[in-house]
Amino acid sequence: MEAGKSFNVKEFILGTAITASLFLIVVLSPVVGFVFSLLAPLPIAFFTWRMGRVPGIAMFALSIGLLLAVFRMGGVPESIPFFAVLGSAGILIPEVLRRRHGIEMTVGLSVAAFLALIAATFAGYSLHLDRSVPDLVRDYVGESIRYSLALYEEIGLPQEQIDQLRESAPEVAAWIVNHGIALLVTGVTFFIWLNVLGLRFLCQDRDPSFPDFGDLARWKMPDWVVWFVIASGIAMIVPEETLQIAGLNVLIVVLFLYLLQGLSIVQFFFRQKNIPRYLRALFYALIVLYQYLLVFVSALGLFDLWVDFRKMNRPASDTTA
């Protein structure tokens, strides 16, 4: 066990129970469970940070064992690899945090490690089933679309809209497959970013050893990243489909990073204007519900390069690390 970390039986049992419960919610309620799945590694990460690597791994393994016992009774053990990969972020994030990097490197290294784990899992499935990874991805996307259509029918979406969605399903599936790399990278980055911030929220005031990322309401992307926006835009107007697909993949990832910068700007003004927490929560909920707000916040992050909304390009005495 790491120096300075103490094992607590009550915390170990509590962390195991919370983790196993979150996993079960994901299984039993797919719609609500999606939200819970985003934070499923957080209890493991929290208790791993508090108690150390070995108790954290043991907690993770015990949670998976409990889940496996339930799945065997329910006849769905094939979901275990998904939860094994999902929960592993709770071990990866504290490991990176112990190296005391800045927020960019912490999230970046965690994302790289998690993507490598996903790639290894897909490669293992590919070998086991004797099928190529692209075929597995296509099957997964097709199955996900069919599941979504069935869900829309259950919640009472008009049949006409469902028929339209069903007709467009092949084009949607092809688009997702072509841009799957960007969607995977942005999804994993958001997932890791959310859990790092969640762990920071839980630990920063309780544990002085937790890394200090500074004032994240003043966080911004390096100025040179804008060249990726320009290069991807040029690639998308070249009359070559491969370049267009590659360009859009890059653009999706970079605009997502600017979305994070835009959220920092929003948080900066919320804090400056002392906006109540419930109104902040309402705004973030609206971002999830209305995609055009995502575009607006991403544009804030991008144009901050020239407009400097937070007035951070003043003399050094005005800036906060």
Residues 269-308: pLDDT tens digits? 999 999 999 999 999 988 888 888 999 999 999 999 999 9
Q: Which two tokens stand for residue 176?
A: 């997702």
In this predicted structure, what is the pLDDT of residue 73? Answer: 59
Closest CA to 96 of 34, 41, 58, 15: 41
Give pLDDT, residue 76.
54
Would you state the pLDDT for residue 318?
40
Amino acid identity of 222?
P
Q: What does the domain layout of the chain look like in residue ranges?
A: 215-321
Position 316 scores a pLDDT of 45
Give the other-Cβ count within 10 Å of 269's Cβ: 13
Read off φ and ψ for residue 41, nearest 5 degrees: -75, -10
Give the model's pLDDT for residue 127: 87
pLDDT on residue 320 = 35
Residues ≥6 apart with Cβ < 8 Å to 17: none
Identify the pLDDT of residue 314. Answer: 62
The confidence score (pLDDT) of residue 246 equals 95
Residue 174: strand, helix, or coil: helix
Distance CA 155, CA 89 (A): 32
How much is the pLDDT for 229?
95
Q: Which residues of the chain have pLDDT under 70?
A: 1-5, 30-31, 73-78, 314-321
